[in-house]
Structure 1
Amino acid sequence: MGRQTATSGINPAGSSRGLRLDPLSLPVRFDAHDVRADGGVRQIELHRERVVLRRVLHGMRMAINVRISDFHGVALRGIDDAQMLVLVHRDPSLTVPLCTSSDNEEIAAAWQMWSDILSLPQLPKEKAREPAVRRRRHNAIRARRPKFLVRRRAGDLLNPANTHHGEREIIARN
């Protein structure tokens, strides 16, 4: 199985003809635009079962390995006068571009092919732009008793035999 790279006839993400990856010749490796990365570029390796995103952020190299099953699906997004197919993840920074074209028939065929090859659903436009549910940032068990206090037995304040009211304390002195 051969590897697609930017030098093997596939146009890189910033080229004038747009991005066109062939889903039948996976794995594929290409560069894509990333606003937050150093140099504005991230490297993407796309396999049938996983995606590896490599980028440099503030001088620190990182590689993020994401399973294909973690993606929501393949979505169609409109950009200027063209349309783009993307692999949508819950985290927008992990979304992967797949194909860019102004031809509606070509995009529809590519959308179906990518969906079949990766076994992911085709997401409509409104579903693709739906924001992810924010995770809770507070500690759910913070209001509970600490662990060392749970081990201690609480005092019995309701037992009237242990309560003495109105009496003077007797102290034995030697």
Structure 2
Amino acid sequence: MNLDRKSLLIEIDARMKLGDIEVALSSDNLTLAVANLALQRDKDVATWLGEGAPGAPDPWLDPADHLVAGLDATLPDGSVLSIRPAPRRSTGPDLVALAFGAHGRFVTITRAWLRVHRRDIPRPTTEPFHAERNPTISPDEDALLAALERELAPNAIGVGVRKGI
């Protein structure tokens, strides 16, 4: 685990357990701020991110902040996808979406750069959000995801990944 105290990012192997990360961060008065960590402390980061990071700070509270600043992942054909840590609004297409909440459907996460928070600074708040945050995927959206999955398959023709995105 590598901690950048100025940017409040940690670079971690995606096999690390959430509980171990939280213990390591506590000596620096930092946290991932995962709600109900006791229920997830034995979960590795790849699984947690693949599930959509349950318990992570609500992205609607601070839309300029983001949990995942970058990641390395392996595509089904063995190609490596490397998304360098950068502010979300300066990185172009959101390729993290291939991993976050996708349950390993498109990529296998191997490394991640996650945002950490100081324990002694209050988090921003906003008015409550009352709409459905995770609506059911429509048949058209599911068809699009299936097409993407076919394109990323190892035997797909013309699939190429630019490294170092």
**Fold conserved between structures, TM > 0.5:** no
Structure scoring higher RCO (CA < 8 A, sep ≥ 6) equals: 2
Bigger Cα Rg? 1
Give the TM-score normalised by structure 2: 0.26
